Amino acid sequence: MDIRSILLYSISLLALLISSCAGDIPDKSADLGKVDAGIYRTIDSLNEVAFRTKKNDVMRALDVVYKAAYLAELYHYDKGMAASLLTEAGIYHQNGYHKRALTLYYKSLDISTKIKDSLHIAKANQQIGNALMESGDYAEAERLYTIAVDYYSILGQSEDLVNIWNSLGSVKLAAGRIDSATSYFIEAREASQRLGYTYGTKKSNHNLGLLNAKIGKLATARDYFNTSLAIDIKAKDAYGIALNRNELARLEIREGDYADAVDLLKLALKSAGSISAGQLQIESLKSLCEVYRKKQDMTELVKYQEMLIDRQNDLAEREKFYSMNFLEILKAKEQERFVFQKKIVTAQQRVAYSNVVLGVVSAGLITLILLTILWYKNYKRAKSYSKELMDKNEVIQKHVLALNKLNSAITDQNERLEESNRMKDKLLSIVSHDLRTPLTNTKGILDLVEGNYLSSAELNQLLKDLDAQYVKSLTLLDNLLFWIKGQMSGSALESKVIDLKPLIDSLCHELEISAAKKDILLINDIKAGLSISGDREMIKVVFRNLLTNALKFTEKGYVRIYATVDDGITVHVEDNGIGMSEEVLKKVLSRSYFTTKGTHKESGTGFGLLICKDLIEKHGASLSVKSEVGQGAVFSVRFGAK
């Protein structure tokens, strides 16, 4: 083969290789009319679906928005990515994760600013302003709202302008700048009336009612609240009806018209109950308690105080259940996001690898062409160039392997960080709900005691309840402290000889009021002198949780603690309670977070057994459970020989 043929063959091969490698790479500058325009429309549609469904179907909204974000990143669609981040932030915001939401809002704003997308710049500033106003940063919220107003004015987004004016008025009102707040609310109301924007009209009237109530113009405030209420009644908006009637009732209380206040509050309570608006129900009940306290009607006060405590407990339980469900949804969706990210990384690696191969092979072919032209002059030099090329290929392969190892390490680290964040969220949820509720109940009981509203029998019963709440809170605090201690690196086991009988006696004494309340006999059949080696406080937490769990699911029966000795020591906690089905037993033995209500509808955190398993494993021991429905249960902790 002559030199001309070799050159033609090499050039053809180079062109074919470039075409093949480029065909696998999504091109940011591709023909929008043929490929990217369709993809972009798909991404925009997915973002719209996610935005519409985020309030009613969080799982579907997260699923759709993650798909939109994946496609937007893969095809370099910055506008779609900004919209995805905005929607995802809104989901976290509505579920109480404000810091994470703010991070995503700022990312969306940054992308929108870079591509000069005015609409999403305005929306991001508005949402960040809402979040900051909720946290009390009124000055920064006002600044961001003002930026959003400028963009919405340019874009002609009239309804969005009304909403911003209402928000600006609320900021001014919170800061005590009454004149400015009044101006914004009136501007919002007049614009809403011109546009026929019903929501803006009722919102601005409600805000004007709040403003006039704050400055003492009660008659004017009543007119505005009634106007807003009329719109809500026409629209059959139960939430707005309850909200306005609560505010009208507060005006009647301030004027001393308790009869009208009671009527309004009962109607508000009914409207809030029809849509399960727990917080509005609590506000209505608090106002009713205030009315009857002022009227010194102790019968009605106690009645509504009990209803208030029940609603607060129900709301706390619902919020905890929703929070845990959201965490589980978030966990599943984070796994899906990881899959999407892995696909993106794989695609990027494929592109990078293709570029490397293209560059190396292109360099090789060019070198080959030059060598072919010069081979007849210096064969030895050509051989030297070939060896040098092989060495470079080996270095490149080593770099590729090192990059793969680095990516794997980063992925593992991200998984550990996500697991830590999920556990932190669970701990915060437990602290915020399960510790706050007993403290709230305790405050209510102390108020009743301080006011001398209770008979001696009622006082004794409430003191027993207070003692039970103390034991429950103490157990939860111990669980949390030992969990946190167990997660700290370097935490050591303080192993000592533990005499089991006095330890179990102290726990039985601690729980005797809770047992007596349910007519349960606590039996300590541990033989004197029987001992194990371990950390006394950790072992105490284990058996307190097991005893509390047995009491929770037993009614008018017994809870017996005894031990068997062979080549080790096994401590058994036996009850004749309601027992467990095979399905429930599997959940108990798993390492997942699980809870259910007791025979007296006692709520739990679902955290105790998880702590037990962890502390038992730290002692080299094991936990087993035997149970049948209706036959009680036996929890057995087996310790090895000392």
The CATH number that applies at residue 601 is: 3.30.565.10
Query: Residue written as tokens 């893969």?
Result: 74
Instruction: Please report whether residue 193 resides in a domain.
Output: no
**Cβ–Cβ under 8 Å, residues 145 and 125:** yes
Residue 25's pLDDT band (boundaries 50, 70, 90)?
Answer: very low
Would you say residue 539 has pLDDT above 90? yes
**Mean pLDDT calculated for residue range 9-16:** 62
Average pLDDT of the segment spanning 328-334: 56
Instruction: Categorize the per-residue pLDDT at 460 as very low, low, confident or very high, splitting at 50, 70 and 90.
Output: confident
Q: In terms of C-beta density within 10 A (0-12 exposed, 13-18 middle, 19 or more buried), how is residue 69 classed?
A: buried
Angle (CA) 423-428-430 rounded to 5° is 95
pLDDT at 522 exceeding the cut of 90: yes
CA distance 288 to 279: 14
Alpha-carbon distance 587 to 583, whole Å? 7
Structural domain includes residue 54: no
Instruction: Quote the CA–CA distance of 358 and 346 in Å, as a whole number.
Output: 18
Q: What is the mean pLDDT of the chain?
A: 81
Q: What percentage of the chain has pLDDT greater than the value 70?
A: 74
Residue 181 is assigned to a structural domain of this protein: no
**Backbone phi, psi, residue 228, to 5°:** -65, -40
Q: Count of alpha carbons within 13 Å of 541, Cβ hemisphere only?
A: 29
Q: What percent of the chain has pLDDT over 90?
A: 40
Looking at per-residue pLDDT, the higher value among 79 and 452 belongs to 79
- Which residue has better confidence, 188 or 52? 188
Q: Sort residue 216 into left (φ over 0), alpha (ψ -120 to 50) or beta.
A: left
| 8 A C-beta contact, residue 287 and residue 251 | no
Residue 632 lies in a domain: yes
Q: What is the pLDDT of residues 219-255, one digit of tens each?
A: 999 999 999 999 999 999 998 999 999 999 999 999 9
Q: What is the pLDDT of residues 275-293, one digit of tens each?
A: 887 888 999 999 999 999 9
- Find residue 563's DSSP bridge partners: 571
Whether 70 is covered by a domain: the verdict is: no
**What is the 8-class DSSP label of residue 526?**
P
In this predicted structure, the answer to whether residue 594 has a pLDDT above a threshold of 70 is no
- Residue 487 burial (CB count, 10 A): 12
**Burial (CB count <10 Å: 0-12, 13-18, 19+), residue 67:** buried
Residue 447 lies inside a defined structural domain of this protein? no
Tell me what the mean pLDDT of segment 500-525 comes to. 93
Lowest mean pLDDT among 229-233, 531-535, 594-598, 632-636: 594-598
Three-state SS sequence of 328-390: HHHHHHHHHHHHHHHHHHHHHHHHHHHHHHHHHHHHHHHHHHHHHHHCCCCHHHHHHHHHHHH
Separation between Cα atoms, residue 630 and residue 551, nearest integer Å: 15
pLDDT digits (tens, 9 = 90+) for 373-417: 776 677 677 677 778 888 887 888 887 787 788 888 888 787 767
Tell me the mean pLDDT in the region 16-28. 52
Query: What kind and span of H or E run contains 151?
Result: helix 138-155
3-state helix, strand, coil in the chain (%, to 5): 75, 5, 20
Enclosing domain of residue 595: 491-639
Is the model more confident about 312 or about 71? 71
* pLDDT, position 489: 47
Contact 482, 611 (CB under 8 A): yes
Over residues 481-512, the pLDDT tens digits come to 766 666 654 456 778 999 999 999 999 998 99
Question: How far is residue 166's CA from residue 203's CA, in Å, rounded to a whole number?
Answer: 8
Q: Give the SS3 label for residue 579.
A: coil
Q: Does residue 559 carry a pLDDT above 70?
A: yes
Q: Within a domain: residue 166?
A: no
Rounded mean pLDDT of 343-360? 60
DSSP-derived letter for residue 527 is P
Number of Cβ within a 10 Å radius of residue 131: 19
The domain tally of the chain equals 1
> Does residue 375 belong to any structural domain of this protein?
no
Burial of 404 (0-12, 13-18, 19+ CB in 10 A): exposed
Mean pLDDT of 582-591: 78
List the one residue out of 552, 541, 534, 519 whose CA is nearest residue 638. 534
35-44, 70-79, 236-245, 578-587, range with the lowest pLDDT: 35-44
Find where tokens 């309601």 sit.
578
In angstroms, the CA 148 to CA 166 distance is 13
Predicted pLDDT at 558? 96
